[in-house]
Amino acid sequence: MKKLLFKNGQVVSGSEVFFADVLIEEGKIKEVVRRKGVHISDKKIFEKRFFGFGKIPEIDCTGKFIFPGIIDAHVHFRDPGQTQKEDFSSGSKAAVSGGVTTVFDMPNNIPPTTTVQNLEKKRKNIAKKSYANFGLYMGFDGKNIDEINMAQGICGVKTFVANSTGNMGVNNVALEELFEKVDRSKLLAFHAEDEGCILANKEKFLEKYPSGRIKSRGVDPSVHSKIRAKECAFMAVKTVCELAKKFKRPVHICHVSSPEEVSLINEYREFGVTCEITPHHLFFSDDDYGHLKNFIKVNPPVRSQSDVFGLWKALSAGEIDMIATDHAPHTVKEKKLSYASAPSGVPGVEVLLPMLLTSVSDKAFGLSDVVRLCCEHPAEIFGALGKGKIVEGFDADIVVVDMEAEKKFTNKDVLSKCGWSPYAGCVFKGLPVMTFVSGELVFKNGKIVGKPQGKEVSFGR
């Protein structure tokens, strides 16, 4: 039986950081042995504890931290249909390089994952090429409730209240039917922006431009944050929360972008409403259009500096349940198009953990906060079995972190197929140095190693 022992490190949970040795066996966590100090003082006690295991290969984690694998519950790996931007091989390599061992992939592919047939084709396509574990969403297109109810093993049902990449937006009549008729064991997740509000703002803010200029490079990309204003997001969040209350079923709001949305969600917590935030809504603002232009064009858009401050305040207060990247790569060529033609979305899966560890180094929050927001809560909200914790019996998805390691991140470092990142130029303080998926090493000291180990996640809600 294959065994591996992580020695002399500090295990990080959502509530504490403690010295421990972690034994894994056949892809599972076998034992977690706590220690009082940096090393076990009595060798005989150690040998007795592991008596009968024989000689075990060891990973010396002295001075390092042992994290459960990060779960990114919101990625767009563009596979199938747009693999010139990303595919599951390149996307999952990017993921594990950043300590992300599990991803949940969105359904707005080409063709969209709205039928059981397309879901099974996608599963078959991914099966042997993902370095990270994965879960798959089904998409709601307003008329496929029977298909959704037949789908097995999905992580959730994604609904776009407004059109975004893929144009899968649905109206309020369809939303009511979704809440009423979809099997209650399936978690409903929402891209919450109000389409009517967006269209009204588009007419308002673009009316001064001749149609030809809109299609050219004459429109400042910062107008995106005015067109898809935070009021549009607030209206849609209100609609979803009211339906959660009416039908008494849990919902998950994706990528909140303003403090007002968070405050509203807090009023509906008793009905099982949860939410996530992205790194780009925490680390960028509308001031960044000046130098990033369409490279920071996302849906929902980045907000003002005061909104960013309010989101950090809400995060620190425990009012945001989890962090997910909404990793949505597009090519450089596409992003260099005019505002109207450039697609929305930025890559982010490989910098999620380094950005947050840098924030820990800057005293913005603690290591346990990272695990709670990126491991434990995603696993709990989505019902991912055996994920999110370093405890006996859980899957051996493990990340070894060196908080003293530093690196300036550049576009040359990007493993995502798109080849660029809005985070290029950032200096990270705190890095994943080894990533294990189901007990197998897949990333070490800046390089992908071994073969794809990712398996589809099982869910139990």
Q: Which residues contact 240 (CB under 8 A, 6 or more apart)?
A: 161, 175, 190, 192, 251, 253, 273
Unique residue bearing structure tokens 């950090």: 312
Q: Taking Cα atoms as reference points, which of 205, 252, 258 lies closest to residue 234?
A: 258
Cis peptide before 112 (omega within 30 of 0): no
d(CA 322, CA 379): 10
Backbone angles phi, psi at 24, to 5 degrees: -115, 150
d(CA 441, CA 445): 11
State whether residue 335 is helix, strand or coil.
helix
> In this structure, which amino acid lies at residue 194?
D
Unique residue bearing structure tokens 């931290």: 65
Q: Taking Cα atoms as reference points, which of 129, 404, 395 lies closest to residue 387?
A: 395
> In this structure, which amino acid lies at residue 454?
G
Contact 400, 11 (CB under 8 A): no
**Helices marked H in 151-304:** 172-181, 195-206, 211-215, 224-227, 230-247, 259-266, 279-283, 289-292
State whether residue 191 is helix, strand or coil.
strand
Active-site annotation, residues: 326
d(CA 192, CA 242): 13
Tell me how long the chain is: 461
Hey, which residues does 297 pair with through a beta bridge? none
CA atoms within 13 A on the CB side of 315: 29
Pairing of strands 65-68, 133-139: unpaired
Q: Taking Cα atoms as reference points, which of 134, 146, 140 lies closest to residue 187?
A: 140
d(CA 108, CA 74): 12
Q: Which residues contact 305 (CB under 8 A, 6 or more apart)?
A: 285, 287
d(CA 409, CA 421): 9
Q: Taking Cα atoms as reference points, which of 106, 182, 180, 110 lies closest to residue 144?
A: 182
Contact 58, 434 (CB under 8 A): no
